[in-house]
Amino acid sequence: MTKKKVTIKDVAKQSGVSIATVSQILNNNQDKFSPKTVEKVLEAKASLNYEPDYFARRMIMKKSKTIGVLVPDITNPFFGTLLSGIENVLYREKFIPMLCNADLDEIKESQHLEELSRRGVDGFIIASSAISNQAINETLRKKNLPFIVLDQKKAEGFSDAILTEDYRGGQLAAEHLFALGHRKVAVVMPENASANIRTRLAGFQSIYPEAQMIHSELSKAAGRKAAVEISQSELTGLFAINDEIAFGLYLGLKEAGKKIPEDYSVVGYDNVEMSEFVTPQLTTIAQPIFELGQQSAELLLDRIKHPEKEWEEKTLAVELIQRFSTAPLK
């Protein structure tokens, strides 16, 4: 015989209070009631092994305590650290992230956005640039759903946003290579780059306006492939637009019989954990990735609590981390 599911009515009956009181106490509004009442409700919950029905909760409270998080490529360690920062804040506030990995596919990103909306998440963190503002407008703004864009995508005045100093990051990479005496340099980046990556390029070009462009997707495999072209050039300085490309360059250049930094000085971007574990350790532009995740979650939760407040846009600083993949030109 199937055991009957314990309901909030059962908790109310055993604790001798109303269903509304039980609901308030179990939803973290305990300060409204006496310690004795709270104790009775929690004891009844424990003795009955009561677990809230989140589908029913959604119907009654219009909240699911879940946040949809859309990222373009979960295999990139940048997004792993970003998600750790997001989860750090959501866990503290008793929210659960619902992750969607778009695989750098614009159609898939739009479908994920629509599906998350249907599943009733309370808000969205969009860490991907490919999804169009039109898709955001049709899926989120028309339904008045809270969302935040970060790093990969500019808010363009219609949402909260957390960004980093991409222009300054590109400048720092260029200034470092220039100070080391490199004049024949290239930027390794996608041909159809997102806005934040184009901003990094602009910063780099403020120092090297004639820098060569070598196209590569944002992956180790693409960086390895780009190394073939680089190894046949007279370049001496390379700015990989993210660390994943830089790691690919390491292997590709080694396969071509070249050495870092003896033949090529390489600067990456992001400062993912692996930067310290490759040989030589990677000189890179550090973004505060964990903090980026934390602040995006905090800003979104504040938007959920205060939907009428003015839009906010925050920009976090970056810095050059000098290691051993760059050296003075001999």
DSSP-derived letter for residue 45 is: H
- Tokens of residue 245, six digits: 């490309």
pLDDT, the chain, mean: 88
- CA–CA distance, 261 with 330 (Å, rounded to integer): 11
Residue 153: pLDDT over 90: no
- Tokens of residue 262, six digits: 């003896």
Report all structural domains of the chain as residue ranges with CATH numbers, in order of start. Answer: 8-61 (1.10.260.40), 66-164+289-317 (3.40.50.2300), 166-287 (3.40.50.2300)
Q: How confident is the model at residue 137 (pLDDT cuts 50, 70, 90)?
A: low
Give the total residue count for the chain: 330
Q: How confident is the model at residue 1 (pLDDT cuts 50, 70, 90)?
A: very low
- CA–CA distance, 71 with 105 (Å, rounded to integer): 11
Radius of gyration of the chain (CA): 25
Mean of pLDDT values over 247-252 = 98
Task: Write down the pLDDT at residue 51.
Answer: 77
Task: Write down the pLDDT at residue 83.
Answer: 95
Mean of pLDDT values over 310-327 = 94
> Is 64 in contact with 120 (CB distance < 8 Å)?
yes
Bridge partners, residue 313, by sequence: 161
For residue 147, the one-letter residue type is F
Task: For the sheet with 160-164, list strands across it.
Answer: 96-101, 66-71, 123-126, 147-150, 160-164, 313-316
Enter the pTM of the model: 0.81
Express each pLDDT in 77-102 by its tens digit.
999 999 999 999 999 998 999 998 87
Ranked by mean pLDDT, which of 65-69, 124-128, 151-155, 267-271 comes out on top?
267-271
